[in-house]
Structure 1
Amino acid sequence: MNIRQLLTDKFQAAMLAAGIPEDCGPVVTQARVAPAKKASFGDYQANGAMAAAKRMGTNPRELASRIVEHLDKGEMIEKAEIAGPGFINIHLSESWLARSLAAAEQSGRLNIAPAAEPQTVVIDYSHPNLAKEMHVGHLRSTIIGDALARLLEFQGHKVIRQNHMGDWGTQFGMLLAHLSDKLENNDAEVALADLEVFYREAKVRFDEEEGFDDRAREYVVKLQGGDPECLKLWQQFIDISISHSEEIYEKLNVTLKRSDVYGESQYNDDLPVLVQELLDHGIAVEDQGAVVVFLEEMADKEGNPSPMIIRKKGGGYLYSTTDLAAIRYRANKLNADRILYVVDARQSLHLQQAFTAARKAGFLPESVALEHCAFGTMMGDDGKPFKTRTGGTVKLSALLDEAVERAEKLVAEKNPDLDTDTCAEIARKVGIGAVKYADLSKTRTNDYVFSWEAMLSFEGNTAPYLQYAYTRVRSIFRRAGIQPGELKGEIHLGTAEERALAIRLCQFGEVLDQVAKDTFPHVLCTYLYELASAYMVFYEACPVLREGVPEEQKQSRLQLCDLVARTLATGLDLLGIEVLEQM
């Protein structure tokens, strides 16, 4: 259920019935219906009358009156009032809210209907370089992409995860030459246990060891030429490398699997074909030995087109070539309706060039959406990209281990009676959840400062606060000695706190639709925090298990409690964060 959309449909119909032309701004911009900012303004507000009146040259209050006259209130709207210069304040019917909550209580999906028109959505995210171990720079892409994948799947879309790993290129010649020597000593597994060390060893040999650089270049030629023995060696390196990423994904509770890996190497055979097609159609030209696409659509202020090199002078291919191949594969082989790239904001120009060139070349239908879900940088206290104290790259595995260790100390302090295994399990969920939520709760396009203290706090908009809120709700049922499935009776909203909580619960569907459309997970985080806060206010004002509470009221409030717990659990699960029955 999406309250905002239901109201929008009603107001669009009323505006047309009131004589507002169909091409008038407010109708096209969703009738300007939004949740009210203050309770005194009702539950929702519609301000389309003012914009329409300005366009039509008429009085906005008079136009608002006509809209209200033609508004089909049905069972949903108790009343619609005109305020100020033409705002329309909407008060939802208490009986309609109660019935909506009852339907959610009986529904396994909280009354969230699957998408009416499901799409095939390809999401490009995580993409570590298999020559190195995953570091904190991979965190944002991985968890933002996974949250979007989970949410879109929940809505009923077909989601195809594409982990575009760096598994090709000249650096692999150096790595394969080094690995071949290790294999002779039967210690490949040991050598690759730490990819950073392995890479540095290979780089030192390449720079300093006589003859090693020539061997490395020979491996590049063999690899690109499809030499079976070289490919076998390369595949072993890839398999061991991917296993490192899989360990991280498991720790992070991320849904990426080995079958989702579709690395650069997959497009190797298509690259010369693609370049030749662009040359044949006059979209690319040879320039000083290289092959370049000049994008007039992205010309600078002086009118100079934006150059995009797709083949180097020496014949090598670039990320731009691979990304073009990926776009047409995803559009034409995977039949994507929508392709999301969860990639660092610093790659904006590169992706804009790739998108523009792909459109220009006709590699995908106009109906296929290409979207760059850009994100900012994780910063340290010094305002610079997050590093170790010595200035090195922070391994993602080390960061996650530290999060769990810090959470375990915190949990043990708060509840020293917990047994070791229980404490460890709680610490795992709290620590990992804290790291993920601290990131997801920030507007993804912004940089943010990493802070252990802030993310592990049990107060404010944090994962531990929401996990604890869920635990508190579930503890009510343990104290009551009753299961949610045993609840009976109708839901009543007799107090302002119950009504406010009811409205928050009913807004879950519209929040999910907004995140799916705009790809900003922090909107869901904000909603969950506001829901938990509304629940705390409700719990303080509306006794549930206190002696003297009538049974009918107790049953009603327990149903509200259950809906809060289920909504929190569902919302956190869509973010990839686990809940706990006790903390």
Structure 2
Amino acid sequence: MKTLLSMLTELVGNTFTSCGYNHTYGQVTLSNRPDLCQFQCNGALAAAKAYKKSPILIAKEVVEHLQNQSYFETIQYIAPGFINITLQDDYLVSYLNNVALSPQFGCTPIENQETVIIDYGGANIAKPLHIGHLRTAIIGESLKRMYRFLGYNVLGDVHLGDWGLQIGLIIAEVKKRHPELPYFDASYKADYPNEAPFTISELEEIYPVASSYAKEHPEFMSEAKNITFLFQQNHPGYKALWQQILKVSIDDLKKNYTALNVHFDLWKKESDAQPYIPKMIENLKELGLAYENDGAVVVDIKEDADTREMPPCILVKSDGATLYSTTDLATLIERKQLFNPNEVIYIVDKRQSLHFEQVFRTARKAELIPPTTKLTFLGFGTMNGTDGKPFKTRNGGVMRLEQLIEEVHTKVYAKVAQNKAISKEEALIISKQIGLAALKYGDLSNQISKDYVFDLERFTSFEGNTGPYLLYTAVRMSALLEKASLVDVRSKIDAPSSEMERALMLKLALFNELVPESIMQYSPHKLCQYLYELCNLFNRFYHEHKILTESNISKQQSWLKLTALCKEMLVTGLDLLGIEVPHKM
């Protein structure tokens, strides 16, 4: 279904052409002065320079050709050359009724299904999720849902860190504590135990202890490095213990990600890319791209146009160890072979921009992926405390993610429990839904690349530009429709009877413009802003129109139909953000 803006742009652009100007000057946008008009075209100003003609004369000429169109209530030209457009109510209502009947509210799915892989996990095994994992999970889940909404074949990949020295340190510490375990017995030939020799709590404690101990005890670090090497050479005992670490860690990660309403299609790991590395490095050497430098294997990626220093991409360190860059390149090969994606999106802290620039350039030079495959780095900003510094616990440590979620839930529960009509059991469930909405919306309503301040008091407020406010509005819509008991499914939305109703209709008619734009620009914050504005308009409409007591049944049915469409769009939009709507508040 064509959007309003695309139809108006086509109409006005064709008129520019018929008047002897390039059609591109007919671009129509939403008005930045809604008190004057609904849409505007400023193309005459740009055309004036190209055609050396007064912009007001160009605008006048175009408007005179358009004045008889039935679409417009008014179309005017004003100095110095603006074209102001307001739609005729019957046309707006007709379009909106078609939107209500169209799949996905008129959002046109892509013609050829494309495969998009979104890398938005990045957790390391044997470590708890902390607030540094929050943004990648929330942003990635939202983008996955938005892409899928338009018909893309989307694969969300957690891409776990399960390789390298951290595994050697953990195994070395387990061996130090429990040398009697069969994993460390070279003569052991039976099957290894099914049960892990540690719980997730014990496992999470082991790594920091081992890491700290290794810094002060060189012999322990040396042993950990040797264990890492042997594990990567398929030492049976170490590999079996690694598999236990994986199982315990993944079970816990799934529990925590589920609590965030974040779900992955792929639980791929760094270890999955290891089989591709030897041949990749060999090929890069044969191509003359990879070479030895001070014992390391590197690829030069500097380009003539670079204005900053661009160090080479290191594939193998002088001690023979591979790096994240090596694994990321091998993972691209794996993804190409398994899924042949049209685009791979990485949602990572923006401070890793240099790393991904090195990886992308190397992949392009070596032709590890087709030139048509798009590689996108979405670097997100830092979540800061009210002091403007990276968010910490009260004692200054890095906060665990489940602790942050619990703090938000506790804050919201205190508010929900004040409603005596809600039982304690219901309040616990509802507060979790509202708490997640507060957390997710507080994050997603900010531009991805920007730092933002995590303000618990503001994010959990039921008023203002917050997740709870949007949920409250959705619940209000549901309650209104429930009280009305009956909405005639055959009824249609009628012409507006007030400016507020007209403004609400126009906002609803723009849903199919906004969602694709938010996706193509990787901008969930634009969807957040749209939903917030929609809620504001509905609440003002609700207060100005006595829907349930309206005596004109036809008008009442139209208002109820309008309310139902608002609710459906709002709930759909919130779902695209990964937010669930409670049944009451």
Q: TM-score, normalised by structure 1?
A: 0.92
Partner of 2:534: 531
Task: Work out the number of aligned pairs and report it.
Answer: 571
* Higher deviation after alignment, 36-45 or 135-144: 36-45
Tell me the amino acid that sits aligned with residue 105 of structure 2.
L
Report the 3-state secondary structure (helix = DSSP H, G, I; strand = E; otherwise coil) of the residue aligned with 1:269: helix
Distance in 2 of aligned mates of 1:327 and 1:74: 53
Instruction: Answer yes or no: is 1:496 the counterpart of 2:499.
Output: yes
Is contact 1:174–1:213 with CA below 8 Å preserved after alignment? Answer: yes
For the Cα contact (< 8 Å) 1:291–1:311, is it kept in 2?
yes
| Cα separation, 2, equivalents of 1:72 and 1:371 | 45
Q: Which of 143, 148, 152 lines up with 1:153 in the alignment? A: 148
**SS of alignment partner, residue 113 of structure 2:** coil
In the TM superposition, residue 204 of structure 1 has moved relative to its aligned partner by: 4.4
The aligned residue for residue 354 of structure 1 is 359
- Aligned match for 2:433, one of 401, 425, 429: 429
- Say if 1:105 and 1:559, in contact at 8 Å, map to a contact too: no
When structure 1 is superposed on structure 2, of 307-316 and 222-231 the one drifting more is 222-231
The question of whether the paired residues in 2 share the 8 Å contact of 1:136 and 1:395 is answered with: yes
Deviates most, 205-214 or 127-136 = 205-214
Name the counterpart of 2:405: 400
What's the secondary structure of 1:216's corresponding residue? helix
2:118, 2:344 within 8 Å by CA — same for their partners in 1?
Answer: yes
Three-state SS of the structure 1 residue aligned to 2:557 is helix
1:541 is aligned to 544
| 3-state SS, counterpart of residue 156 of structure 1 | coil
Quick one: which amino acid aligns to residue 561 of structure 1?
T
Q: How much does 1:127 deviate?
A: 1.2
User: How far apart are 1:190 and its partner, in Å?
Assistant: 4.3
Q: Could you tell me how far 1:107 is from its partner in structure 2? A: 4.1
1:302-358 Cα deviation digits (max 9, x unpaired): x86532212111121111112222234334542211221111110111112211222
1:439 aligns with 2:475: no
Task: Please tell me the residue identity of whatever aligns with 2:99.
Answer: A
1:339 aligns with 2:334: no
User: 2:117 aligned with 1:141, yes or no?
Assistant: no
* Cα distance change of structure 1 residues 67 and 355 upon mapping to structure 2, 3 Å threshold: farther
Aligned partner of 1:449 among 432, 438, 453: 453
Q: Which amino acid aligns with 2:11?
A: K
What is the one-letter code of the residue matched to 1:375?
F
Partner of 2:10: 9
1:255 is matched with which residue? 263
Q: Give per-residue Cα distances to partners, 1:180-227, cap 9 Å, x unaligned.
A: 555957984644225431212323453467854444233212221123
Whole-Å separation in 1 of the counterparts to 2:117 and 2:548: 48
Matches for 1:72-221 after TM superposition, within 5 Å = 76-107=71-102, 109-179=104-174, 188=196, 190-207=198-215, 212-221=220-229
Moved more, 155-164 or 321-330: 321-330
**1:247, distance to aligned residue in structure 2 (A):** 1.1
Distance (Å, rounded) in 1 between the aligned partners of 2:555 and 2:569: 21
Within 5 A, what are the aligned runs for 1:233-382? 233-256=241-264, 259-297=265-303, 301=307, 305-331=310-336, 333-382=338-387
Classify 1:72/1:573 alpha carbon distance in 2 versus 1 (closer, same or farther; 3 Å): farther
Contact 1:298/1:306 (8 A) holds in 2: no
* CA–CA separation in structure 1 for the residues paired with 2:153 and 2:411: 38
Distance in 2 between the 1:53 and 1:329 partners?
Answer: 53
Change (3 A) 1:73 1:397: farther
1: CA distance, partners of 2:168 / 2:67: 70
Root-mean-square deviation (Å): 2.4
Question: Would the alpha carbon gap of residues 199 and 479 (structure 1) be closer, same or farther in structure 2, given more than 3 Å must change?
Answer: same
CA change 1:182–1:527 in 2 (3 A) is: farther
Aligned to 1:61: 56
1:474 is aligned, of 478, 495, 520, to 478
User: How much does 1:580 deviate?
Assistant: 1.8
Query: SS of the residue aligned with 1:271?
Result: helix
| 1:451 counterpart letter in structure 2 | D
- The farther-off stretch of 277-286 and 326-335 is 326-335
Contact 2:166 2:207 in 1 (8 A): no
Quote the offset at 1:72 in angstroms.
10
Question: Which one of 481, 506, 510 corresponds to residue 509 of structure 2?
Answer: 506
The alignment partner of 1:519 has SS state of coil
Identify which range, 236-245 or 272-281, moves more after superposition: 272-281
SS in 2 for 1:275: helix
What SS is found at the alignment partner of 2:106?
Answer: coil
Pair 549,84 (structure 1): closer, same or farther in 2 beyond 3 Å: farther
CA distance in 1, matches of 2:317, 2:576: 43
More moved, 327-336 vs 230-239: 327-336
- Check if 1:228 corresponds to 2:236: yes
> Is the contact made by 1:101 and 1:491 (CA closer than 8 Å) also made in structure 2?
no
Deviation of the 1:370 alpha carbon: 1.5
CA contact (8 A) 1:148 1:521 kept: yes
Distance 1:139 1:195, change over 3 A: farther
Name the counterpart of 1:563.
565
3-state SS of paired residue (2:312) = strand
Cα shift at 1:407: 1.0
Report the residue type matching 1:325 in the other structure.
Answer: A
SS at the partner of 2:339?
A: coil
What is aligned with 2:581?
579
> Partners of 1:54 and 1:328 in 2: how far apart?
50
Structure 1 residue matching 2:348: 3-state secondary structure = coil
In structure 1, how many angstroms separate the alpha carbons of the residues matched to 2:43 and 2:375?
Answer: 30
1:417-457 CA deviation, whole Å, 9 max, x = no partner? 32111111111101111111101111111111111100000
SS at match of 1:297: coil
Amino acid at match of 1:231: K
Distance (whole Å) between structure 1 residues aligned to residue 68 and residue 340 of structure 2: 41
SS of residue matched to 2:125: coil
**Partner AA of 1:551 in structure 2:** I
- Percent identity, aligned pairs only, is 36
Unaligned runs of 5+ in 2: 182-192
Counterparts of 1:182 and 1:201 in 2: how far apart (Å)? 15
Deviation at residue 159 of structure 1 after TM alignment = 0.5
1:3 to partner: Cα distance: 2.1
The one-letter amino acid paired with 1:236 is: Q
Range moving further from structure 2, 124-133 or 213-222: 213-222
Structure 1 residues 440, 283: CA separation in 2 closer, same or farther (over 3 Å shift)? Answer: same
Matched residue SS, 2:396: coil
Match of 2:314, SS state, is strand
Q: Which stretch shows the higher mean deviation, 238-247 or 351-360?
A: 351-360
